[in-house]
């Protein structure tokens, strides 16, 4: 550490296929060459289109080529010859779709499964996250905004899995990372164009870099969503997303089921309560659905009925209630469909980030004085 500036890593260790108990996997070189290193000793070269078969045997891994057994190791490392090398990794037990990865792979046995860790350059990781989280059909400025958020999350959470021997997982627990970005060149380009850039809060900590699919016209505050307020995660009116596919939804529920549900949550609903009493409109986001003195958080209704968002109005008829909803997701932070539209009509990535996050600065992680947020912050649901 010099002059209070943290030295940030250039590579990161990400557990891939982390949600799956992988017992057997095929690893092949799709492009370029790899050195295979078993328990710190050179074993063999792996050239383009060569495949190796790895299976778990107790605490070790048996390595087979297509023609013969190669050996048993506690730790196998696939070292890329250069930055153009690409590995194809295909779990066969369980049988999962193959994915492609840049850089190195470290294989060991942990937690009764094969632990596959991608030792990956952070730019390659960020581009992979952007493609996984944001799809392959958007504008460059939108990808830049997502890249800055993915990088901010990365640097703010490198110790999330330390006790398991890696830094981040590839699931939504951390950020979705389905391998290298290969479907749209503008994603790695956007990642390079924003190299090192992260979002810092007013107190020079990394922000909680949250986003969602569509806010329905107004973003949600962190304090409403998670009871953990942040001065940069405050409601923002969003005219940019309201014509997008995920801006509107509705669901119909029998009135009798709605009444039973509310009574199970302590609503009194005396006999003769007219259907009109159930009506509730959310023009702007509200926290509670209320009838008289009784109330229930909209986010709880969202969970119980598996709704797309907690931003909905209730319109009751004589037989049923209609939930007329807006948006998709928790609504906190950047609205992806709004941000895509902003990029389409000419806004730059920093303008997009400053629109959805307040009181922030966009800075280079290598030159700014950024601190890690205090440990043990409550985990946030990302949906
Ligand atoms: Zn994780
Ligand atoms: Zn929106």
Q: What is the pLDDT of residue 7?
A: 62
Determine the distance separating the centroid of ligand 1 and the alpha carbon of 240, expressed in angstroms.
Answer: 31
Determine the distance separating the centroid of ligand 2 and the alpha carbon of 269, expressed in angstroms.
Answer: 35
pLDDT tens by residue, 26-43? 999 999 999 999 999 999
Q: Give 383 or 346, the one with higher predicted confidence.
A: 346
Query: What's the pTM?
Result: 0.91
Token representation of residue 288: 């509670």
Mean pLDDT score of the chain: 92
pLDDT tens by residue, 236-270? 999 999 999 889 999 999 999 999 999 999 999 98
**Interval 52-69 mean pLDDT:** 95
Token representation of residue 26: 């095929």
Determine the distance separating the centroid of ligand 2 and the alpha carbon of 356, expressed in angstroms.
Answer: 9
Determine the distance separating the centroid of ligand 1 and the alpha carbon of 173, expressed in angstroms.
Answer: 4
Distances (CA, A) of 186 to 36, 139, 160, 217, 338: 32, 8, 29, 28, 19
Distances (CA, A) of 177 to 122, 169, 296: 12, 8, 36
Q: Give 375 or 243, the one with higher predicted confidence.
A: 243
Ligand nearest to the CA of 340: 2
Determine the distance separating the centroid of ligand 2 and the alpha carbon of 334, expressed in angstroms.
Answer: 8
Name the residue ranges covered by the structural domains of the chain: 22-111, 246-326
Q: How confident is the model at residue 71 (pLDDT cuts 50, 70, 90)?
A: very high
Identify whether 232 is preceded by a cis peptide bond (ω within 30 of 0). no
Is residue 378's pLDDT more than 60?
no
CATH code for the structural domain at 22-111: 2.60.200.30
Determine the distance separating the centroid of ligand 1 and the alpha carbon of 296, expressed in angstroms.
Answer: 31
């Amino acid at each position: 550490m010099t002059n209070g500036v943290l030295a940030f890593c250039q590579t990161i260790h990400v557990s891939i296929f982390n949600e799956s108990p992988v017992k057997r996997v095929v690893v092949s070189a799709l492009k370029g060459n790899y050195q295979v290193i078993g328990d710190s000793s050179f074993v063999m070269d792996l050239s383009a289109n060569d495949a190796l078969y790895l299976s778990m045997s107790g605490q070790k891994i048996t390595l087979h080529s297509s023609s013969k057994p190669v050996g048993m190791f506690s730790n196998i490392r696939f070292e890329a010859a250069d930055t153009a090398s690409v590995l194809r990794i295909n779990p066969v037990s369980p049988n999962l779709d193959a994915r492609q990865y840049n850089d190195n792979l470290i294989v060991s046995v942990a937690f009764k499964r094969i632990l596959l860790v991608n030792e990956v350059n952070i730019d390659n990781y960020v581009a992979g996250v952007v493609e996984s989280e944001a799809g392959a059909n958007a504008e460059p400025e939108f990808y830049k905004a997502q890249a800055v958020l993915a990088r901010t999350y990365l640097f703010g959470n490198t110790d999330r899995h330390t006790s398991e021997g890696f830094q981040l997982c590839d699931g939504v627990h951390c950020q979705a990372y389905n391998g290298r970005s290969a479907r749209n060149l503008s994603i790695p380009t956007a990642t390079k164009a924003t190299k090192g850039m992260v979002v810092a809060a007013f107190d020079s900590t990394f922000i909680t870099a949250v986003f969602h699919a569509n806010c329905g016209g107004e973003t949600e505050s962190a304090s409403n969503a998670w009871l953990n307020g942040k001065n940069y995660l405050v409601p923002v009116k969003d005219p940019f997303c309201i014509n997008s596919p995920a801006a509107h939804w509705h669901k119909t529920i029998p009135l009798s089921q709605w009444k039973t549900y509310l009574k199970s949550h302590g609503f009194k609903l005396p006999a003769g309560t007219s259907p009109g009493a159930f009506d509730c409109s959310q023009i702007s986001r509200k926290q509670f659905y209320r009838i008289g003195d009784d109330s229930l958080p909209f986010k709880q209704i969202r969970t119980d009925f598996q709704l797309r968002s907690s931003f909905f109005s209730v319109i009751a008829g004589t037989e049923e209630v209609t939930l007329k909803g807006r948006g998709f997701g928790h609504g906190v932070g950047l609205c992806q469909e709004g941000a895509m539209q902003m990029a389409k009509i000419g806004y730059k990535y920093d303008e997009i980030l400053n629109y959805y996050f307040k009181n922030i600065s966009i800075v280079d992680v290598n030159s700014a004085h950024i601190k890690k947020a205090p440990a043990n912050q409550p985990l946030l649901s990302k949906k």
